[in-house]
């Protein structure tokens, strides 16, 4: 978002971006209390823990804490950015953070130098230096135990470092393991971040907007709508709001049936549009093809609840019917987890939103159901078959365009559809390698045209073919994406 647009909205910074200044983040009472506890704890050191599901605000809490601790005189605070590193890299980063040159391969010497540095710090400032570790569930066991040994002195009777670990459910499970019990038993302060209520989300959002310089950027009703649809997830809320801001810059006229700014947007009485508006969950955009070009349309992967896998399920509904019937609420989980293949392992998680073109000359916002596998912890999103992964134009329209039909919808989106064809052509060699002869023999000099026909003949229609490509071959028409690959299974 550029300076000019920010000025246009009277904003000092984009309040929905990830990098908002820490001072703009709302310290809720639990976070405030946790910070206070840590301010006390730095006198004695030891471990502290903050946990919560992805999007619950752990990183924000850490940033608030770092900001507070930064204000303590002579306190040195380090943030470990590569928790997944091996021991040698871990030492390299520690050396960098605390300003001591270390030779990672002489661990004995490195730990000695570091500890001397920390002891000198304690002598000078009476505080224990602080090390913050986000995504600590990614840390190796060896790094964990090295940290524990590094941070204690005098036969384990005192701590010379304050360690703040932040992570999701996996961190909690790991701390229950035998190897990490020595750490778990040393945790002195805890902050558990829960799902937010719409009211709490609203408080965070209001605070951010105020800090960004325009408390009235969103109308009260829009604010409420957003908070009610964010499934208690702070990150989801920010992504929703950010999308709106971006699209607003591209002239949104209405949101959730309530006016964001300006006029009516031309929605006809009694139309699908107005009935959807009443439901207050569909964003209706004035049709503006130029503003839609080149945008990423699915925020699903960016929202990422850790690992996401995408599946496609057959449906005869059109995008309008899907939105109008609120069909996302009725979507059943797949029988088997697409990742670990366990049966009946999926439980409801949340929804995410994406955009899809619709016959009524609109782009609709639809909600997509997401489930979580109890066994492998991968979240599974279920995309209706009229949608393509990461492409806003609906599947029947793309298919009609590829077939050379000249329907009004094809004409409306022709530029995008041509772009899709080019993507398909460039993805073809990879695609062919992946599917082999599964859809019939491949000619010596395969062309996009011939493969398109072949797939259609074999599968019936494009939606069906998409499902087969994704589920059997972990690819799709326009590329191979991470969300279609199976994940290595972690030990349960």
CA neighbor of 364 nearest in space, from 254, 258, 263: 254
Distance of closest approach, residue 410 Cβ to Zn ion, in angstroms: 39
Instruction: For Zn ion, give the closer residue by CB, 171 or 376.
Output: 376
Instruction: Answer yes or no: are the C-beta atoms of 83 and 133 closer than 8 Å.
Output: yes
Among 364, 373, 383, 476, binds Zn ion (CB under 5 A): 373
Instruction: For Zn ion, give the closer residue by CB, 197 or 490.
Output: 490
Distance of closest approach, residue 490 Cβ to Zn ion, in angstroms: 10
Distance of closest approach, residue 308 Cβ to Zn ion, in angstroms: 12
Is residue 379 part of the contact set for Zn ion (CB under 5 A)? no
Tell me how far apart the alpha carbons of residues 145 and 179 are, in angstroms, rounded to a whole number: 8
Instruction: For Zn ion, give the closer residue by CB, 462 or 470.
Output: 470
Q: Which stretch binds Zn ion (CB under 5 A): 161-169, 308-316, 376-384, 437-445?
A: 376-384
What is the DSSP secondary structure assignment for residue 487, as one 8-state letter? Answer: P
Residue 30 vs residues 18, 190, 194, 312, 351: alpha-carbon distances, Å: 21, 10, 10, 40, 27
Instruction: For Zn ion, give the closer residue by CB, 124 or 348.
Output: 348
- List Cβ neighbours of 198 (8 Å cut-off, separation of 6 or more): 224, 227, 228, 230, 232
Residue 451 vs residues 62, 210, 415, 424, 457: alpha-carbon distances, Å: 51, 55, 22, 10, 10
CA neighbor of 130 nearest in space, from 90, 77, 65: 77
Instruction: For Zn ion, give the closer residue by CB, 339 or 466.
Output: 339
Q: Which stretch binds Zn ion (CB under 5 A): 268-276, 359-367, 374-382, 426-434?
A: 374-382
Residue 417 vs residues 250, 353, 393: alpha-carbon distances, Å: 21, 22, 8
Distance of closest approach, residue 307 Cβ to Zn ion, in angstroms: 10
Among 117, 277, 369, 375, binds Zn ion (CB under 5 A): 375
Q: Which stretch binds Zn ion (CB under 5 A): 163-171, 174-182, 317-325, 366-374?
A: 366-374
Instruction: For Zn ion, give the closer residue by CB, 286 or 301.
Output: 301
Residue 122 vs residues 119, 133, 148, 166, 392: alpha-carbon distances, Å: 5, 21, 18, 24, 57
Distance of closest approach, residue 380 Cβ to Zn ion, in angstroms: 8
Distance of closest approach, residue 341 Cβ to Zn ion, in angstroms: 7
Instruction: For Zn ion, give the closer residue by CB, 214 or 304.
Output: 304
Instruction: For Zn ion, give the closer residue by CB, 338 or 389.
Output: 338
Q: Which stretch binds Zn ion (CB under 5 A): 192-200, 222-230, 368-376, 420-428?
A: 368-376
Q: Which stretch binds Zn ion (CB under 5 A): 43-51, 86-94, 371-379, 449-457?
A: 371-379
Distance of closest approach, residue 484 Cβ to Zn ion, in angstroms: 15
Which residues, in sequence order, are bridge partners of residue 187? Answer: 47
Number of Cβ within 10 Å of residue 78's Cβ equals 18
Burial letters for 125-140: b for 16+ Cβ neighbours within 10 Å, e otherwise?
eebbbbbbbbbbbebe
Instruction: For Zn ion, give the closer residue by CB, 305 or 322.
Output: 305
Distance of closest approach, residue 52 Cβ to Zn ion, in angstroms: 22
Residues in 298-357 that interact with Zn ion by CB under 5 A: 337, 339-340
| Paired tokens of 411 | 């004409």
Among 376, 382, 385, 416, binds Zn ion (CB under 5 A): 376
Distance of closest approach, residue 487 Cβ to Zn ion, in angstroms: 9
Q: Considering CB under 5 A, how many residues would be counted as binding Zn ion?
A: 6
Which residues, in sequence order, are bridge partners of residue 52? Answer: 193
Any idea which residue has 């293949």 for tokens? 341
Q: Which stretch binds Zn ion (CB under 5 A): 63-71, 187-195, 271-279, 375-383?
A: 375-383
Q: Which stretch binds Zn ion (CB under 5 A): 84-92, 276-284, 370-378, 424-432?
A: 370-378
Distance of closest approach, residue 195 Cβ to Zn ion, in angstroms: 22
Query: What is the DSSP code string of 439-465?
Result: TBPPPSS--HHHHHHHHHHHHSSHHHH
Residues in 426-465 that interact with Zn ion by CB under 5 A: none
Could you give the count of Cα atoms lying within 13 Å of 477 in the half-sphere of its Cβ?
A: 30
Instruction: For Zn ion, give the closer residue by CB, 120 or 492.
Output: 492
Query: What is the DSSP code string of 239-257?
Result: HHHHHHHHHHHT---EETT
Number of Cβ within 10 Å of residue 27's Cβ equals 18
Instruction: For Zn ion, give the closer residue by CB, 340 or 366.
Output: 340
CA neighbor of 65 nearest in space, from 237, 248, 189: 189
Instruction: For Zn ion, give the closer residue by CB, 65 or 380.
Output: 380
Please give the residue ranges that form the binding site for Zn ion (CB under 5 A). 337, 339-340, 373, 375-376
């Amino acid at each position: 978002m550029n300076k000019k647009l920010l000025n246009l909205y009277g904003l000092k910074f984009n309040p929905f971006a990830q990098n908002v200044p820490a001072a703009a983040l709302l310290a809720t009472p639990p976070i405030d209390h946790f910070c206070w506890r840590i301010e006390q704890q730095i006198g004695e050191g030891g471990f502290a823990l903050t946990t919560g599901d992805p999007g619950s605000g752990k990183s924000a809490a850490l940033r608030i804490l770092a900001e507070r601790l930064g204000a303590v005189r002579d306190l040195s605070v380090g943030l470990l950015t590569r928790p997944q590193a091996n021991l040698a890299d871990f030492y390299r980063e520690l050396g960098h953070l605390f300003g001591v040159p270390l030779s990672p391969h002489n661990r004995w010497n490195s730990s000695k130098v570091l500890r001397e540095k920390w002891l000198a710090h304690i002598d000078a400032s009476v505080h224990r230096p602080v090390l913050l570790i986000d995504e600590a569930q990614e840390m190796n066991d060896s790094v964990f135990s090295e940290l524990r040994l590094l941070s204690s002195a005098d036969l384990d009777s005192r701590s010379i470092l304050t360690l703040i670990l932040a992570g999701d459910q996996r961190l909690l499970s790991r701390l229950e393991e035998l190897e990490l019990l020595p750490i778990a038993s040393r945790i002195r302060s805890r902050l558990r971040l829960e799902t937010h209520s719409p009211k709490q989300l609203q408080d965070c959002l209001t605070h951010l907007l105020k800090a960004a310089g325009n408390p009235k950027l969103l109308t009260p009703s829009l604010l409420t709508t957003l908070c009610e649809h964010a499934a208690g997830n702070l990150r989801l809320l920010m992504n929703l709001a950010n999308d709106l801001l971006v699209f607003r810059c591209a002239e949104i006229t209405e949101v959730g049936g309530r006016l964001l700014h300006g006029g009516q947007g031309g929605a006809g009485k009694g139309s699908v549009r107005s009935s959807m508006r009443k439901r207050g969950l569909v964003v209706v955009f004035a049709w503006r093809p130029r503003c839609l070009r080149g945008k990423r349309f699915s925020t699903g992967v960016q929202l990422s609840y850790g690992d996401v896998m995408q599946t496609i399920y057959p449906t005869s509904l059109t995008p309008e019917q899907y939105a109008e019937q609120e069909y996302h609420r009725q979507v059943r989980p797949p029988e088997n987890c697409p990742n670990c293949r366990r049966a009946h392992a999926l439980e409801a998680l949340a929804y995410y939103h994406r955009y899809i073109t619709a016959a009524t000359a609109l782009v609709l916002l639809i909600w997509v159901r997401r489930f979580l596998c109890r066994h492998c912890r991968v979240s599974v999103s279920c995309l209706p078959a009229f949608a393509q992964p990461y492409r806003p134009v609906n599947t029947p329209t793309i298919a009609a365009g590829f077939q050379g039909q000249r329907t009004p919808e094809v004409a409306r989106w022709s530029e995008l559809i041509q772009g899709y064809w080019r993507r398909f052509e460039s993805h073809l060699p990879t695609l062919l390698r992946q599917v082999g002869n599964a859809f019939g023999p491949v000619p010596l000099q395969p062309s996009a045209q011939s493969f398109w026909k072949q797939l259609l003949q074999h599968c019936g229609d494009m939606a069906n073919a998409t499902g087969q490509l994704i589920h059997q071959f972990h690819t799709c028409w326009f590329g191979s994406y991470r969300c279609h690959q199976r994940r290595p299974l972690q030990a349960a």
